[in-house]
Amino acid sequence: MRMRDFKALHHGAYRVYWKSGGSSIATIGMTWDGGRWIACANWINPATWEQDVKNAVRSISSVSLIEPVDYKNDGVK
């Protein structure tokens, strides 16, 4: 996976496919300085592109684990 592809992902839940085989459910978010982090469900700490993603991830695809949030209305009537 290329860094620009990783940085283009929106915050949310994804299935990560590892180069070594298998896959994991992970969430992707943003650090305080605008970088991206990734945290698999069975990890203790999140990782960054340089730490774990660059050489380990084959691809990432979105999953629908929860309903998307409508930030424009936020459920307010």
Q: What tens digit of pLDDT does each residue of 18-72 get?
A: 888 888 888 888 888 888 888 888 877 777 766 667 777 777 776 655 555 555 5
The pLDDT assigned to 6 comes to 79
- Rounded distance, CA 7 to CA 19, Å? 19
Domain containing 36 equals 3-62
The pLDDT assigned to 48 comes to 72
DSSP code at position 34: S
Tell me whether residue 70 is in a domain: no
* pLDDT, mean of residues 10-19: 85
Tell me whether residue 34 is in a domain: yes
Tell me whether residue 77 is in a domain: no
- Rounded distance, CA 62 to CA 2, Å? 16
Q: How many domains does the chain have?
A: 1
- Rounded distance, CA 32 to CA 18, Å? 26
Tell me whether residue 7 is in a domain: yes
DSSP code at position 70: -
